[in-house]
């Protein structure tokens, strides 16, 4: 039976419901309050309030400072204003009255009269014209002569005329009055100006202050801010604290299946990021200015805030407003601890995000996103870690502070490329990589098995600088970090592997016919001279020249005699491409005898007493069982164990070895770096790294919760504990440092064990490499945002790559040093040139300016701008760049320059500047030699200065410091004594600029002549002047000098330009395309027309115009001038086959080639001032702008004389020169 | 006394070949109480080398007139070395020194620089002349002063101011054998050795000094005289320097 329903009016209990409502209302109110409080209490609002308070304080201080500064001037201005006012107030009043009166009474009246008269005239004219119409209707159209009018009409006509005259008179009166008005008002203006002048002055004095005051007012707690910004619930109306965001127009967030506009709110907390001067100790993050406002954030920088935002470089979550939520990643443990304490940061804050923030030391990795097509990314760091270590200049920030520890992405990329990482790991930057190791297809002709065996086991034991990594004795194969029990067994196992690989390599090797030339006797003395002077040292280092600038482009040859045989080396030196067709070693076009001498010398001179050899005991039971085990294991996938065993038993020992060796070559991916027969098309065995920077952390193998590894610092040799964080960069660093460490403690089958070799990189190399790898990210960057090099920039990037691959820097200097300094007027200026002397004793250094300053000062900028206005932005001629003497400019530029004052600020080219080390120079300290050494505290330190003495045998030295080292308590100019084992790196300033060979030539000469290259007298008086003529030419601004087609031909087929040279431009075997790029590179770099350029010097009309239609006589005269005993170009210059008298070291290049080789504008400028182009050149200055010389030979001002010589050189083949010098 | 001579062109050639180039301390005798002198010899530590010969292979008509003796190292029978620059290290120049900036003449005659080693006070102007009928270019291997390399036609000259202390090598690139040295001295206590290798530094203010000797081919002397005490009106004798011959 159903329960009877209770009779109620409602389906619910109102009483109870009221209670529910009450509580839910209370809960709602509470949650609203909570919401409001929580909103008011948001992290970023605290940051903003804090920042505003501090910024107000800063503004107040600035105001105080300004007030103090301007107080006097302001008072003065106000005082003067008051005085002036009192003085002329009555005058002004009087004038105003006068003006007012004039306007009110006279002008008004006159104006009215004119207006009335005009109105009246209109009436009269109407009446006249209407009567005239009647008259003409009655008497015919043609009758218009007033003389024939009847009387009435005539009166009306006269009235019109009279009225017109009246109006003219009245207008005239009015104009007179207006003139009067103008003159009074001008006078009044003049008077008032006396006062407004002070108003302007006051305004300019208070302008900055007012802005600051407004800034304070904007955020200060006043009524408005208290109500609209600081009152919960009200603060939405018009808050001062508000989210600052930017929406870069071309950037999108990739949300897998769709894209969203990218919005960065970072500035909400980083409020001063675009402000200037929020630096130093008072401003910690997040309230600091961006350290490179010249490059980023500021509107005038190439990467402005509005166009780029923040996260495109820094990554992280731009739309999150909390510290943790925006995925900050600490740079190191210290920062991590700081954050944990300050912000409650935990690793979870970033672990799960796809793009956590880039730790600051890797920030330059982001450049790769858009600038991947540059060979070296401008401003993103030097190309070698050595330079990065020595030169703080590249990451110098405001106020001379530096961002310590930033890694160069350029250096990382270069390491990746040079060490052939692309051999195993595909990478989008290097699509068709060359194999970086030597060709092994004919290895039997080159090496002996015992050497190869020993080499494979430990390449660095033979050659510490080799790029060949170590495959055996690593942390999972019996190395020092292998913690397993069977280390010794593993070592035996490694021997089996190395021996097998050796066996296979020799088995696959194809024989090579290497006949030695008949009837030639090797002369090792001559071999030594050739080796030292031909240019070998441009790419190769030898330990016997301990202070030669480190050149690790080719292998260090110090033990080459233990490795190679004469027949092979002879052929290699003579024609490297025969053995290794795509190798980088160029041909020096050596004679048979020369090649034989060099090869014999190398083999004889470069070996140690204990030759590098090794072989295993092949009868050892372990050896044999390991070998069998490898074979059996290999067959086990397909065969039962008994059959596999039978297969092994059927093989001879050599068969076993080659069989296993072949499998190992495949396993270790040897073919990634070496050519091996049968593996020409082998693919890299490693993972592609093109998008490794965004690899999902969950797919990264961190091994068994490995947190730290006790390793060894490869520079200092000290034991060091390396931490492993759960971050990609930490993992990458450890993977490169100890590639197989993540196998530790795990059971892994042989075939699954890690097999990446160890390159034994040093910590800074690893950091650079990680930076590079970290920058290769999978991310959507619209094409429009990428640098996409075009035109000259593309040509330059292409050229730089070829220059790198051919190691042009090894021999040629491409750039000069740059310094900025204060001149006598305390203006900051800029000069390009070279250091001529560093004197630790006299505590001073000297710098010679090679070119004019492109001054950084206002004054200087105007000058350059003036030249640009005259010539056009891109074609400021050499004359401007090279000459500073206004008279010279007048001469060279002819009528073009009129404003001579505009260039007079420049100092003469070739000036030597005296530089006090600390006082006035703010140069890149890498001008000086840098040394990295292990100090008494066991740490690596960096010092700048100069080697003051050295023991060439021992490699020890004393080093004079140009800057103090505070950590070690060493003052500037202190001398540091260092033994070889304490020297980590000696960094010659020329490394940055190229031309290392020149230094090696000097050192070799010093060693042979028993001179001290570090003694100032001996160096500057003997070594340098002797060797300078034999150094490969400096290619600084070469594009201004050479014609592109000539450069192309020369690069394709070099020939001796300077016959006295012992050093030789090699034949690189460039493709036509490469030679074109390189030839164009020079033109592009120095902004000259390329590839083709029309020179009208050879046009008949040109010569006719120069010479009053007597071109032949003109050239005759020029020829006479060149041969004049007082000029006599051919005293030094060759002309075709004809050589000058005397010793070849005093000769100069062949002038019969000038017309094909040189640009005429360069010839002209060069003759005028050789020292301005190349201070120290042997070419004397013969023509002076202010002196007329050689008038008997060629009567003309010197400008014309030089012009004529240039014209003759450009017309050589049609000139008397060619007639006397058949080529 | 030498200062007066220096202005006289006629005697210049004689002087510049010889001893001191006009900056000996006599110029400021009255300024200080009488100083002492230092005398000694510069000797070669080994056999007396035979003078070398130069190869005169250009402009022989003119240049052939000069002797082909290589003057880069001239050693007398008593082992004394000529043209060694002996000076006091780290000493301040007396007030008012040098008294006047004199123009020094630096001539080229018969394809030879008339002075082999020339000491001039800092701030001097040198007047580089070419008394030959052929072109010479004067190339200074200066690293503190601004270097020059200018052609100087026959009979013409060029003025050059030397503002900073240093030893400057001067050559002519047209005629490779031509070589000379200009020592820009920061104080008056510099001197050159005679033909027999002897030298005298006069009017040295009393005090203790370090002496150094430098020769263009032999470099710095290995002998150290770190503490030479000079008394007023006294003469310190026997400050000899030995030089190791080059092999």
* pLDDT at position B130 over 70: yes
* CA nearest to A158, candidates A146, A148, A170: A146
Rounded-to-integer distance, Cα B6 and Cα B101, Å:
12
The mean per-residue pLDDT over the stretch A693-698 comes to 85
Tell me the ipTM for this assembly.
Answer: 0.82
* CATH number reported for the structural domain that contains residue A496 in this entry: 1.10.760.10
Looking at the predicted structure, is the pLDDT value of residue A1137 above 50? yes
Q: Average of pLDDT values for B3-28?
A: 40
Radius of gyration for chain B, computed over Cα atoms and rounded to the nearest angstrom = 18
Q: Which of B142, B176, B221 to mutate to test the interface with A (most CBs of A within 10 A)?
A: B142
Please give the average per-residue pLDDT across B28-40, as a whole number.
70
Tell me what pLDDT residue A824 has: 60
Residue A549 has pLDDT above 50, yes or no: yes
A772-781, A919-928, A1094-1103, B106-115: least confidently modelled range: A919-928
Please tell me whether the peptide bond between A286 and the residue prior to it is cis, using omega within 30 degrees of 0. Answer: yes
Judged by average pLDDT, the poorest of A689-703, A836-850, A929-943, B26-40 is B26-40
Provide the pLDDT for residue A822: 59
Q: Parallel, antiparallel, or unpaired: how do β-strands B36-44 and B235-236 relate?
A: parallel
Report pLDDT for A1042. 93
Q: Are residues A492 and A392 in the same domain?
A: no
**Domains of chain A: total:** 6
Span A1200-1222, mean pLDDT? 85
What mean pLDDT comes out for the span B79-89? 94
pLDDT grade, residue B160 (50/70/90)? confident
Contacts 24+ apart (CB under 8 A), A1112-1118: A1114/A1204, A1114/A1207, A1115/A1207, A1115/A1208, A1115/A1211, A1115/A1214, A1115/A1215, A1115/A1216, A1116/A1216, A1117/A1193, A1117/A1194, A1117/A1204, A1118/A1194, A1118/A1204, A1118/A1205, A1118/A1207, A1118/A1208, A1118/A1215
3-state secondary structure A613-650: CCCCCCCCHHHHHHHHHHHHHHHCCCCCHHHHHHHHHC
Q: Which of A1219, A1195, A1198 is nearest to A1114 (CA)?
A: A1195
- Residues B230, B203 contacting (CB under 8 angstroms): no
Contact A1031, A1004 (CB under 8 A): no
Which residues on chain B are in Cβ contact (under 8 Å) with A846? Answer: 143-144
Of B55, B133, B149, the CB nearest to A1171: B149
**Which residue among B164, B167, B174 places its CB closest to the CB of A1131?**
B174
A764/A423 Cα distance (integer angstroms) = 22
pLDDT at residue A102 tops 60? yes
Residue A1101: phi and psi, rounded to 5, are: -65, -35
List, for residues A1139-1190, the tens digit of each pLDDT value.
888 778 778 899 999 999 999 888 887 887 787 677 778 888 888 877 788 8
Q: Which of A1087-1091, A1127-1131, B36-40, B57-61 has the highest mean pLDDT?
A: B36-40
A297's enclosing H/E stretch is strand A296-297
Judge whether residue B133 has pLDDT over 80: yes
Whether residue A222 sits in one domain with residue A130: yes
Q: Which of chain B's residues have a Cβ under 8 Å away from the Cβ of A1010?
A: 246-247
- Are A157 and A101 part of one and the same domain? yes
CB contacts, 8 Å: B169 with chain A:
1020-1021, 1025
A817 pLDDT more than 80: no
Highest mean pLDDT range out of A195-199, A269-273, A899-903, A949-953? A269-273
* DSSP code for A269: T
Residue A780 to residues A262, A317, A1115, B230: CA-CA distances in angstroms? 11, 15, 64, 82
pLDDT at A1045: 96
Confidence of residue A893 (pLDDT cuts 50, 70, 90): very low
Give yes or no: residues A26 and A71 share one domain.
no
Q: Please indicate whether residue A487 or residue A1062 has the higher confidence score (pLDDT).
A: A1062
Q: Could you tell me which residue, A991 or A436, shows the higher pLDDT?
A: A436
What confidence score (pLDDT) does residue A3 get? 57
Tell me: the pLDDT tens digits for A221-242?
A: 777 777 777 777 777 777 888 8
The residues with which A977 forms a beta bridge, in sequence order, are A958
Q: What is the pLDDT of residue B21?
A: 41
CB–CB contact B135 A836 (8 Å): no
Question: How far apart (Å, rounded) are the C-alpha atoms in residues A304 and A298?
Answer: 5
Q: Do A1072 and A1211 share a domain, yes or no?
A: yes
Query: Is B144 in contact with A1182 (Cβ distance < 8 A)?
Result: no
- Looking at the structure, do residues A172 and A199 belong to the same domain, yes or no? yes
Domain span including residue B123: 2-243
When comparing pLDDT for A921 and A1027, which is higher? Answer: A1027
Q: Which residue has the higher pLDDT, A896 or A605?
A: A605
- The answer on pLDDT for B96 being more than 70 is yes
Q: Residues with Cβ < 8 Å from A296, sequence gap 6 or more?
A: A290, A303, A305, A308, A313
| Average of per-residue pLDDT across B235-241 | 91
Q: Which span out of A169-173, A255-259, A1087-1091 was modeled with the highest average pLDDT? A: A169-173
CA closest to A839 among chain B residues:
B144
Query: B135 or A676: whose pLDDT is higher?
Result: A676
CA distance linking residue A215 with residue A255, whole number of Å? 40
Instruction: Establish if A114 belongs to a structural domain.
Output: yes
Domain of A1211 in residue numbering reads as: 1038-1220
- The total number of residues shown for chain B amounts to 247
Reported as type and span, the H/E element at residue A774 is: helix A763-775
Give B118: exposed, middle or buried? Use CB within 10 Å, 0-12, 13-18, 19+: buried
Which of A1135, A1125, A1113 lies closest to A1204, judged by CA? A1113
Is residue A730 over pLDDT 80? yes
| Domain-embedded: residue A933 | no
**Chain-centre distance of CA A546, in angstroms?**
30
Structure tokens at A217: 């007012």
Residues A34 and A86 in one domain: no
Closest chain B residue by Cα to residue A1174: B149
- A1120 and A1127 in contact (C-beta within 8 Å)? no
Q: Is residue A733 part of a domain?
A: no
pLDDT on residue A883: 33
Kind and range of the H or E element at A592? Answer: helix A592-605
Instruction: Give the pLDDT confidence score for residue A900 in this predicted structure.
Output: 28
Q: How many CB atoms lie within 10 A of CB A852?
A: 26
How far from the centroid of its chain's Cα atoms is residue A312's Cα?
Answer: 20
A494 is a domain residue? yes
pLDDT (0 to 100) of residue A902: 31
DSSP A170-223: HHHHHHHHHHHHHHHHHHHHHHHHHHHHHHHHHHHHHHHHHHHHHHHHHHS-SH
pLDDT in tens, B181-208: 999 999 999 999 999 999 999 989 999 9
Query: Residue B130 in contact with residue B154, Cβ under 8 Å?
Result: yes
Q: Say yes or no for a CB contact (<8 Å) between B139 and A1180.
A: yes
How many CA atoms within 13 Å lie on the side-chain side of A585?
A: 21
% of chain A surpassing 70 pLDDT: 89
- Residues in chain A, how many? 1223
Contact call for B147 and A1175, based on CB within 8 A:
yes
A271 & A144 share domain: no
What's A987's DSSP letter? E
pLDDT of residue A397 exceeding 60: no
Rounded Cα distance, A819 and A925, in Å:
9
Say whether both A406 and A480 belong to one domain: no
Q: Which of A617, A643, A664 is the last residue in one of the domains?
A: A617
Mean pLDDT of chain A: 84
| B134, B153, B220: residue with CB nearest A1017 | B220
Is residue A348 pLDDT above 90, yes or no?
no
Dig out the tokens for A76 from the structure: 């003065």
Task: Give pLDDT tens digits for A289-317.
Answer: 888 777 888 887 789 999 999 999 999 99
Which pLDDT belongs to residue A800? Answer: 92
Whole-number Å distance between alpha carbons of A239 and A218: 10
Beta carbon pairs, A and B, within 8 Å: 105
CB contact under 8 A, B146 and A910: yes
- pLDDT above 50 (res A908): no
**Is the pLDDT confidence value at A912 over 70?**
no
pLDDT at A868 over 70: no
- Check residue A888 and give its pLDDT: 30
Nearest residue to A702 (alpha-carbon basis) of A728, A684, A670, A722: A728
pLDDT mean over A989-996: 76
pLDDT score recorded for residue A861: 35
The full DSSP string for B68-133 is: -B-TT--B-TTSBBSS-EEEEES-PPPTT-SSS-PEEEE-EETTEES-SEEEEETT-EEEEE--SS
Residues 6+ apart with CB under 8 A from A664: A497, A500, A501, A504
- Tell me, yes or no, whether A554 and A588 share the same domain: yes
8 Å CB contact between A977 and A992: no
Q: Are residues A1140 and A1112 in the same domain?
A: yes
Distances (CA, A) of A44 to A325, A335, A356: 12, 20, 19
> Are residues A1025 and B148, on separate chains, in Cβ contact within 8 Å?
no
A867 — pLDDT class (breaks 50, 70, 90): very low
Q: Say what the pLDDT of residue A1032 is.
A: 92
The pLDDT assigned to A863 comes to: 44
Q: Could you give the percent of chain A with pLDDT greater than 90?
A: 38
**Residue of B90, B141, B149 to mutate, interface with A, max A Cβ within 10 Å:** B149
C-alpha B211 chain-centroid distance = 16
- Give the global pTM: 0.83
What tokens appear for B94 in the block?
Answer: 């007396």
Tokens of A422: 């692309």
Residue with tokens 């060619």: A1218
On the question of pLDDT at A550 being above 80, the answer is no
Q: In 3-state terms, what secondary structure has residue A330?
A: coil
> pLDDT digits over A479-516, tens only?
888 887 778 888 889 999 999 999 999 999 999 999 99
Spatial neighbors of B17 by CB under 8 A, at least 6 apart, are B114, B115, B116
**C-alpha distances out from residue A286 to A271, A816, B225, Å:** 7, 39, 63
Residues A201 and A336 in one domain: no
Cα torsion angle, A1159, A1164, A1165, A1169, sign: positive
A192: alpha, beta or left? (left if phi > 0; alpha if psi -120 to 50): alpha
Using the predicted structure, report yes or no on whether residue A1074 has a pLDDT greater than 90. Answer: yes
What tens digit of pLDDT does each residue of A466-479 get?
A: 999 999 999 888 88
Per mean pLDDT, which of A540-544, A718-722, A736-740 is the most reliable?
A: A736-740
SS3 A1127: coil
Annotate chain B with DSSP letters as a single string.
-HHHHHH-HHHHHHHHHSS--S-SGGGGGGGSS--EEEEEEEEESS--PPPPB----SSHHHHTTS--B-TT--B-TTSBBSS-EEEEES-PPPTT-SSS-PEEEE-EETTEES-SEEEEETT-EEEEE--SSS-EEEEEE-SSSPP-EEEE-TT-EEEEE--S-EEEEEE-SSSTT-EEEEEEESSS-EEE--TTSEEEEEEEPSEEEEEEEEETTTEE-S--EEEEEE-TT-EE----EEEPPP-
On the question of pLDDT at A87 being above 50, the answer is yes
Q: Residue B56's closest chain A neighbor by CA? A: A1142
Cα gap A429→A417, rounded to integer Å: 9
At residue A429 the predicted structure's pLDDT band, cuts being 50, 70 and 90, is confident
Model confidence band, residue A391 (pLDDT cutoffs 50, 70, 90): low
Residues of chain A whose beta carbon is less than 8 angstroms from a beta carbon of chain B are: 836-837, 846, 848, 908, 910-912, 914, 1010, 1015, 1017-1018, 1020-1021, 1024-1025, 1125-1128, 1131-1132, 1140-1143, 1145-1146, 1170-1171, 1175-1182, 1184, 1189-1190
The burial of A894, by beta-carbon neighbours within 10 Å (0-12 exposed, 13-18 middle, 19 or more buried), is given as exposed
φ, ψ of residue A40 to 5 degrees: the values are -65, -25
pLDDT value of residue A894 = 26
Cα angle value A511/A515/A519 (rounded, 5°): 170
- Chain B interface with A: residues with Cβ < 8 Å: 55, 57-59, 133-135, 137-139, 141-151, 153-154, 156, 164, 167, 169, 171, 173-174, 176, 214, 216, 219-220, 246-247
Q: B149 and A1178: CB-CB below 8 Å?
A: yes
Q: Tell me the CATH number at B150.
A: 2.60.40.420
pLDDT higher than 70, residue A901: no
Contact status, residue A970 vs residue A936, Cβ threshold 8 Å: no
For chain A, the C-alpha Rg in angstroms (whole number) is: 42
User: Count of domains in chain B?
Assistant: 1
């Amino acid at each position: 039976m159903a329960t009877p329903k209770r009779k109620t009016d409602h389906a619910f209990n109102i009483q109870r419901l009221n209670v529910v409502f009450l509580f839910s209302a209370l809960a709602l109110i509470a949650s609203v309050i909570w919401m409001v409080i929580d909103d008011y209490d948001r992290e970023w609002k605290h940051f903003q309030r804090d920042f505003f308070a501090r910024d107000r304080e800063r503004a107040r201080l600035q105001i105080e400072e300004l007030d103090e500064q301007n107080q006097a001037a302001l008072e003065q201005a106000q005082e003067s204003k008051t005085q002036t006012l009192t003085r002329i107030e009555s005058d002004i009043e009087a004038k105003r009255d006068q003006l007012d009166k004039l306007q009110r009474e006279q002008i008004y009246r006159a104006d009215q009269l004119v207006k009335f008269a005009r109105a009246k005239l209109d009436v009269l004219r109407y009446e006249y014209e209407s009567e005239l119409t009647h008259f003409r209707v009655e008497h015919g159209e043609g009758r218009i002569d007033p003389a024939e009018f009847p009387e009435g009409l005539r009166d009306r006509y006269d009235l019109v005329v009279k009225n017109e005259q009246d109006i003219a008179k009245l207008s005239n009166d009015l104009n007179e009055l207006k003139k009067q008005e103008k003159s009074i008002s001008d006078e009044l203006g003049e008077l008032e100006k006396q006062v407004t002048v002070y108003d302007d002055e006051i305004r300019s004095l208070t302008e900055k202050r007012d802005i600051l005051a407004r800034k304070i007012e904007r955020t200060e707690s006043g009524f408005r801010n208290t109500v609209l910004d600081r009152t919960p619930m009200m603060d939405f109306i018009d808050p001062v604290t508000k989210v600052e965001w930017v929406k870069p127009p071309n950037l999108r967030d990739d949300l897998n299946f769709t894209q969203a506009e990218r919005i960065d709110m970072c500035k909400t907390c980083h409020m001063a990021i675009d402000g200037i001067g929020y630096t130093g100790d008072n401003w910690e993050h997040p309230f600091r200015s961006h350290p490179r406002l010249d490059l980023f954030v500021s509107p005038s920088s190439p990467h402005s805030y509005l166009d780029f935002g923040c996260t495109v470089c820094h990554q992280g979550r731009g739309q999150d407003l909390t510290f943790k939520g925006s995925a900050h990643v600490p740079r190191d443990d210290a920062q991590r601890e700081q954050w944990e304490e300050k912000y409650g940061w935990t690793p979870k804050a970033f672990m799960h995000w796809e793009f956590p923030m880039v730790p600051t030391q890797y920030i330059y990795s982001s450049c790769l996103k858009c600038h991947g097509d540059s060979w070296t990314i401008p401003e993103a760091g030097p190309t070698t870690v050595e330079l990065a270590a020595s030169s703080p200049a590249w990451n110098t920030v405001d106020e001379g502070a530096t961002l310590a520890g930033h890694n160069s992405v350029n250096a990382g990329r270069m390491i990746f490329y040079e060490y052939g990482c692309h051999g195993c790991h595909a990478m989008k930057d290097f699509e068709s990589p060359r194999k970086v190791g030597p060709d092994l297809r004919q290895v039997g002709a080159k090496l002996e098995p015992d050497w190869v065996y020993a080499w494979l086991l430990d390449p660095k034991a033979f050659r510490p600088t080799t790029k060949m990594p170590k495959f055996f004795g690593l942390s999972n194969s019996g190395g020092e970090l292998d913690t397993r029990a069977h280390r010794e067994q593993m070592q035996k196992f490694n021997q089996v592997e190395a021996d097998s690989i050796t066996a296979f390599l020799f088995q696959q090797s194809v024989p090579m016919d290497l006949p030695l030339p008949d009837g030639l006797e090797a002369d090792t003395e001559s071999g030594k001279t050739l080796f030292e002077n031909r240019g070998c040292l441009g790419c190769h280092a030898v330990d016997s020249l301990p202070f030669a600038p480190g050149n690790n482009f080719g292998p260090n040859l110090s033990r080459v005699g233990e490795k190679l045989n004469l027949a092979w080396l002879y052929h290699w030196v003579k024609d490297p491409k025969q053995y290794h067709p795509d190798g980088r070693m160029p041909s020096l076009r050596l004679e048979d005898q020369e090649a034989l001498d060099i090869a014999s010398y190398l083999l004889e001179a470069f070996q140690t007493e204990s030759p590098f050899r090794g072989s295993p005991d092949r009868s050892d039971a372990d050896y044999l069982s390991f070998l069998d085990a490898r074979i059996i294991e290999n067959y086990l996938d397909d065969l039962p164990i008994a059959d596999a065993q039978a297969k092994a038993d059927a093989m001879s020992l050599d068969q076993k070895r080659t069989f296993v060796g072949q499998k190992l070559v495949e396993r270790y991916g040897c073919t990634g770096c070496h050519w091996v027969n049968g593996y020409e098309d082998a693919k890299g065995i490693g993972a592609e790294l093109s998008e490794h920077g965004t690899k999902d952390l969950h797919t990264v193998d961190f091994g068994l919760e490995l947190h730290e590894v006790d390793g060894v610092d490869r520079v200092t040799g000290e034991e060091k504990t390396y931490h492993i964080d759960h971050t990609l960069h930490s993992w990458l660093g450890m993977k490169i440092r100890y590639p197989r460490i993540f196998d530790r403690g795990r059971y892994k089958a042989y075939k699954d064990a890690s097999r990446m070799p160890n390159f034994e990189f040093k910590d800074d190399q690893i950091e650079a490499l990680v930076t590079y790898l970290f920058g290769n990210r999978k991310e959507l960057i619209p094409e429009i945002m990428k640098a996409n090099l075009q035109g000259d920039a593309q040509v330059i990037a292409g050229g730089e790559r070829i220059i790198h691959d051919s190691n042009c820097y090894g021999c040629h200097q491409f750039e000069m040093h740059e310094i900025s300094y204060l001149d006598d007027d305390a203006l900051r200026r800029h000069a390009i040139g070279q250091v001529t002397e560093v004197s630790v004793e006299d505590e001073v250094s000297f710098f010679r300016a090679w070119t004019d300053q492109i001054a950084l000062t206002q004054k200087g900028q105007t000058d350059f701008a003036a030249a640009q206005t005259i010539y056009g932005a891109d074609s400021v001629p050499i004359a401007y760049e090279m000459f500073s003497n206004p008279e010279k400019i007048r001469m060279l530029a002819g009528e073009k320059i009129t404003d001579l004052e505009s260039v007079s600020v420049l100092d003469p080219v070739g000036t030597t500047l005296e530089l006090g080390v600390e006082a006035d120079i703010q140069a890149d300290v890498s001008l000086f030699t840098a040394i990295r050494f292990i100090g008494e505290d066991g740490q690596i330190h960096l010092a700048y200065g100069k080697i003051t003495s050295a023991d060439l045998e021992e490699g020890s030295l004393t080093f004079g410091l140009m800057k103090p080292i505070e950590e070690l308590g060493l003052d500037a100019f202190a001398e540091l004594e260092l033994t070889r084992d304490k020297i980590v790196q000696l960094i010659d300033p020329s490394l940055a600029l190229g031309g290392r060979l020149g230094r090696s030539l000097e050192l070799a000469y010093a060693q042979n002549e028993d001179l001290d290259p570090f003694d100032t007298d001996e160096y500057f008086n003997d070594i340098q002047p002797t060797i300078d003529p034999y150094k490969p030419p400096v290619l600084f601004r070469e594009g201004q000098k050479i014609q592109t087609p000539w450069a192309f031909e020369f690069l394709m087929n070099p020939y001796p330009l300077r016959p006295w040279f012992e050093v030789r431009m090699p034949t690189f075997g460039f493709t036509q395309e490469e030679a074109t790029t390189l030839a164009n590179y020079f033109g592009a770099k120095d902004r000259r027309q390329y590839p083709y350029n029309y020179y009208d010097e050879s046009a008949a009309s040109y010569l006719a115009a120069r010479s009053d239609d007597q071109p032949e006589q003109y050239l005759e005269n020029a020829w006479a001038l060149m041969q004049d005993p007082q000029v006599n170009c051919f005293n030094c210059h060759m002309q075709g086959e004809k050589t000058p008298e005397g010793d070849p070291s005093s000769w100069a290049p062949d002038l019969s080639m000038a017309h094909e080789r040189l640009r005429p504008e360069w010839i002209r400028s060069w003759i005028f001032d050789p020292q301005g182009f190349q201070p120290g050149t042997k070419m004397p200055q013969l023509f002076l702008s202010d002196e007329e010389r050689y008038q008997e030979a060629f009567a003309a001002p010197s400008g014309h004389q030089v012009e004529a010589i240039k014209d003759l050189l450009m017309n050589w083949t049609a000139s008397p020169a060619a007639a006397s010098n058949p080529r | 006394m030498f200062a007066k001579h220096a202005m006289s062109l006629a005697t210049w050639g004689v002087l510049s070949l010889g001893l001191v180039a006009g900056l000996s301390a006599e110029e400021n005798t009255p300024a200080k109480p009488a100083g002492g002198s230092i005398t000694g010899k510069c000797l070669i530590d080994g056999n007396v080398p035979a003078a070398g010969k130069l190869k005169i292979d250009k402009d022989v008509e003119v240049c052939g007139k000069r002797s082909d003796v290589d003057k880069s190292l001239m050693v007398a029978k008593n082992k004394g070395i000529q043209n060694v620059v002996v000076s006091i290290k780290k000493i301040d120049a007396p007030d008012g020194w040098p008294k006047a900036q004199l123009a020094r003449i630096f001539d080229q005659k018969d394809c030879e620089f008339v002075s082999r080693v020339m000491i001039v006070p800092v701030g001097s102007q040198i007047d580089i002349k070419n008394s030959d009928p052929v072109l010479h270019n004067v190339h200074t291997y200066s690293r503190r002063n601004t270097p020059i390399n200018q052609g100087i036609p026959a009979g013409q000259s060029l003025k050059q101011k030397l503002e900073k202390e240093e030893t400057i090598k001067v050559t002519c690139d047209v005629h490779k054998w031509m070589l000379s040295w200009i020592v820009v001295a920061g104080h008056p206590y510099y001197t050159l050795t005679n033909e027999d290798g002897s030298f005298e530094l006069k009017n040295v203010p009393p005090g203790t000094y370090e002496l150094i000797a430098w020769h263009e081919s032999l470099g710095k002397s290995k002998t150290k005289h770190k503490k030479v005490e000079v008394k007023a009106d006294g003469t310190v004798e026997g400050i000899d320097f030995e030089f190791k011959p080059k092999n």
